[in-house]
Amino acid sequence: MTVRVRFAPFLFPALLLLASFSSPLAAQNPTAPAVFGYADFTAQSKVEEKFLAVPDASLAGQHLKFLTAEPHLAATPEDRKTAEYVAQKFRTAGLETEIVPYRVLLNQPQEVRVEAYDDHGKLLMSGPAREHVSNDPYQDDPRVVMSFNGSSGSGDVTAEVVYANYGRLEDFDQLVAQHIDIRGKIVLARYGANFRGVKVYIAEQRGALGVLLYSDPQDDGYDKGQAYPQGPWRPETAVQRGSVQYLFKFPGDPETPGVASTLDLPDSARIPAEKSPSQPRIIAIPISSHDAMPILRALKGVSVPQGWQGALPFRYHIGQLAGQGSVRVHLLSRQDYQRRIIWDVIGKAKGAEYPDQWVIAGNHRDAWVYGAVDPSSGTAAMLESVHGIGVLLHQGWRPKRTLLFCSWDAEEEGLIGSTEWVEGHAKALEQAVAYFNMDVAVSGPDFSAAATPSLKQFLRELTRSVPSPLGESVYRQWGANHPAGEDRHASNVPPAAEEIHVGDLGSGSDFTPFFQHVGVPSTDIGSGGPYGVYHSVFDNYAWYTQNADPHFLYLQQMARVFGLEALRMADADVLPLDYAAYSRAISSYIEAAKRKAADQGVNLDFSSAQTAAARFIAAADRVYSLQAAPSGDLLRLNLALRQVESALLSDDGLPNRTWYRHTIYAPGEFTGYAVQVLPGVNEALDAQDRTRAAQQLAVLAQALDRATRTLDFAQ
């Protein structure tokens, strides 16, 4: 489901391209531990070398071809077929493998219709039009699901249309400022800027009857560049499907928050869908720019504010609510809601020394249609990571910690397969040391990553060991696109000169249950490029080989990075979790929240949180020096290092959305994908609720004190 920030096509300095890839080992300083977490990296470097030699570009391409041969929406026979393919590859590699089913509520569309009329009752459009371009070999398969939104309501409504730009909170507030009341109306909003479920959530809260979501050419279509099949951008008939579940309330099966939807879970343990806080009550339908154009063109009334104009070739207007210039739209949505069976695939290599400490690597497998980029590039890469681990296993190597590779189902509908599995393994996951995610693994050559702060340095370090198809290391290519300095605002200390930006984890993919519900340190990686066909029929093998990665070299690169994350974490002497950086990031968040409160004129005492953060920094620095020169009781040190993330959870969860238990990170209630730091405190400030803000500051200080005590236990 992930949407990644896209960067401009990158320009490598010619010198970088000429320089040859040098072994990471050559750069090691012999007097310091060469790799954080290892007392002596010599043996491990041999294991890693063997591993890195295995992932194969053409085999990855074969996986991709198989996985994208048919549309494989969650819970369909074709989805089951991909599960069996993945399970077979896991078994061949020597992983103990099982296909784990869950029974979860999913909608599939029976009928979706949109018709628009002008103020004389003249038909302006009738759709949705079929997604179509000239010469795409995949578009005509009868199994391509019609355009729809996961978790949309069913219904039949007719009302005037109001254009609401991106459907952000500030956009809806702008309508209020223009005296436009959306109660009883249909909102037309463009994709982009926030998670689509947030657009529907605000529209529903403000009384709209339905939402039409469309793709404006300005955001991912011809305004960006050549549209498919001439180029990578969205053609005018292409539709972005997607879930509008309120996943910022909780992800997973809408009927079982906090509980795994196993096949034997009785109905009495499920909450009725119509009462589920994660389900919209109104209709949402996604349409193409082709279908949105006649509606937008006919809208009259107030001209749009600056920033609301898209790239269609006329001036946009917000819409008249009655009489001349009003546009009425008829929406019909018949959704077949049923409890359906989905299939996760879990492959395990048992740890030789610490079998209870799990290192988990996962990627979802289900797609809205073919999903070449999202998510099959991730699955193809993961299968080559597993291939590499398999070669090591067949040579008699065993990981120190237990390795788990996971192929999640029904991610697109709301992170369902991963969430149900996490909810069913919450106890065991208290000992899991890390979760590594991939989703949209390859849409181009631009590596990027997001992570728990404790794992940012780990990612920077290990990408030095992986060659890039462009020469040198992934780290160097990454650095060429993400110059240092972007992290500086989040730290009280100047970062090392070579520090590359690693983002924070918000939501939109399967790391969410691991990180924000049960507190497992997590990362999310991908390699991006111009990608305009997200969630459309055109995210297929033909688009991929034409635009993203014709020789599958980036699948190979991602297989190496992903597998190396798992391998290096599984074998580390001391867990390479960096709390010196993490504690400083938290301290900077507290300072920022304090400034925000001051700007609002709110009188709040931040001193206990600030003091707690300072103590956390001091403890983290002490432990960091133990990690840098590991000796003595490593079991105790490792136990403590792992428990710090758990210490940052609050038992009560966030106010109004208790499934989210992390006190430092949550998806923003009004952004959805983007992260909200110190969510309890900042959301209380946003709601101008001083009492709640004070209470949440106390919760934060307690969490930081728990984290400090946990680190002190290590010494």
* Tokens read off for 355: 């079998």
Q: Which of 387, 501, 535, 662 is catalytic?
A: 662
Q: How many residues bind Zn ion (CB under 5 A)?
A: 4
The secondary element (H helix, E strand) that includes residue 206 is none
Q: Cβ 525 to Zn ion, closest distance in Å?
A: 13
Provide φ and ψ at 615, rounded to 5°: -65, -40
Residue tagged 């002008």 (tokens): 118
Q: Which CB atom, from 41 or from 673, has the smaller least distance to Zn ion?
A: 673
Q: Which CB atom, from 375 or from 513, has the smaller least distance to Zn ion?
A: 375
> How far apart (Å, rounded) are the C-alpha atoms in residues 570 and 431?
13
Q: Cβ 510 to Zn ion, closest distance in Å?
A: 9
Scanning 368-376, 560-568, 627-635, 686-694 for contacts with Zn ion by CB under 5 A, the matching segment is 368-376
Q: Are 344 and 409 in contact (CB under 8 A)?
A: yes
Q: Which CB atom, from 204 or from 374, has the smaller least distance to Zn ion?
A: 374
- Partners of 657 in beta bridges: 654
Q: Cβ 670 to Zn ion, closest distance in Å?
A: 22
Scanning 72-80, 111-119, 372-380, 594-602 for contacts with Zn ion by CB under 5 A, the matching segment is 372-380
Interface with Zn ion includes 329 (CB under 5 A)? no
Q: Cβ 414 to Zn ion, closest distance in Å?
A: 12
Q: Cβ 409 to Zn ion, closest distance in Å?
A: 12
Helices (H), 255-369: 289-298
Interface with Zn ion includes 197 (CB under 5 A)? no
Q: Who's near 306: CB < 8 A, 6+ residues apart? A: none
Q: Cβ 364 to Zn ion, closest distance in Å?
A: 6
Provide φ and ψ at 649, rounded to 5°: -85, 150
Q: Who's near 109: CB < 8 A, 6+ residues apart? A: 145, 146, 148, 333, 334, 335, 336
With 0-12 CB in 10 A as exposed, 13-18 as middle and 19+ as buried, what is 232? Answer: buried
Q: Which CB atom, from 1 or from 389, has the smaller least distance to Zn ion?
A: 1
Q: Which CB atom, from 320 or from 507, has the smaller least distance to Zn ion?
A: 507
With 0-12 CB in 10 A as exposed, 13-18 as middle and 19+ as buried, what is 665? Answer: buried
Scanning 206-214, 243-251, 335-343, 370-378 for contacts with Zn ion by CB under 5 A, the matching segment is 370-378
Q: Which CB atom, from 375 or from 399, has the smaller least distance to Zn ion?
A: 375
Q: Which CB atom, from 252 or from 375, has the smaller least distance to Zn ion?
A: 375
Q: Which CB atom, from 1 or from 455, has the smaller least distance to Zn ion?
A: 1
CB atoms within 10 A of CB 182: 22
Scanning 233-241, 375-383, 465-473, 660-668 for contacts with Zn ion by CB under 5 A, the matching segment is 375-383
Helix axes 690-713, 634-647, angle to 10 degrees: 170
> Annotated catalytic, 662?
yes
The DSSP call for residue 654 is: B
> Annotated catalytic, 411?
yes
List the one residue from 167, 375, 453, 513 that touches Zn ion (CB under 5 A): 375
Scanning 1-9, 188-196, 445-453, 577-585 for contacts with Zn ion by CB under 5 A, the matching segment is 1-9
CB atoms within 10 A of CB 290: 20
> How far apart (Å, rounded) are the C-alpha atoms in residues 552 and 544?
9
Site for Zn ion, residues 409 to 448, rule: CB under 5 A? 439
Interface with Zn ion includes 459 (CB under 5 A)? no
Residue tagged 């494989």 (tokens): 72
Q: Which CB atom, from 467 or from 506, has the smaller least distance to Zn ion?
A: 506
Q: Are 641 and 714 in contact (CB under 8 A)?
A: yes
E strands present in 443-512:
446-451
* Tokens read off for 571: 């074998």
Q: Which of 23, 58, 303, 607 is catalytic?
A: 607
Buried b (16+ CB within 10 A) or exposed e, 521-542: bbbbbbbbbbbbbbbbbbbbbb
Q: Are 216 and 289 in contact (CB under 8 A)?
A: yes
Helices (H), 227-304: 289-298
Q: Cβ 73 to Zn ion, closest distance in Å?
A: 13
Q: Which CB atom, from 1 or from 260, has the smaller least distance to Zn ion?
A: 1
Q: Which CB atom, from 386 or from 441, has the smaller least distance to Zn ion?
A: 441
The DSSP call for residue 499 is: P
Q: Cβ 374 to Zn ion, closest distance in Å?
A: 4
List the one residue from 220, 291, 366, 374 that touches Zn ion (CB under 5 A): 374
> How far apart (Å, rounded) are the C-alpha atoms in residues 33 and 626?
12
**Cα–Cα separations (whole angstroms), residue 181 to 186, 194, 355, 590, 657:** 11, 22, 59, 37, 28
CB atoms within 10 A of CB 637: 22
Interface with Zn ion includes 526 (CB under 5 A)? no
Helices (H), 471-510: 474-481
> How far apart (Å, rounded) are the C-alpha atoms in residues 360 and 99?
16
Interface with Zn ion includes 669 (CB under 5 A)? no
Q: Which of 411, 412, 423, 669 is catalytic?
A: 411
> How far apart (Å, rounded) are the C-alpha atoms in residues 151 and 245?
5
Helix axes 607-628, 690-713, angle to 10 degrees: 20
Residues annotated as catalytic (active site), given as ranges: 411, 607, 662
**Site of interaction with Zn ion (CB under 5 A):** 1, 374-375, 439
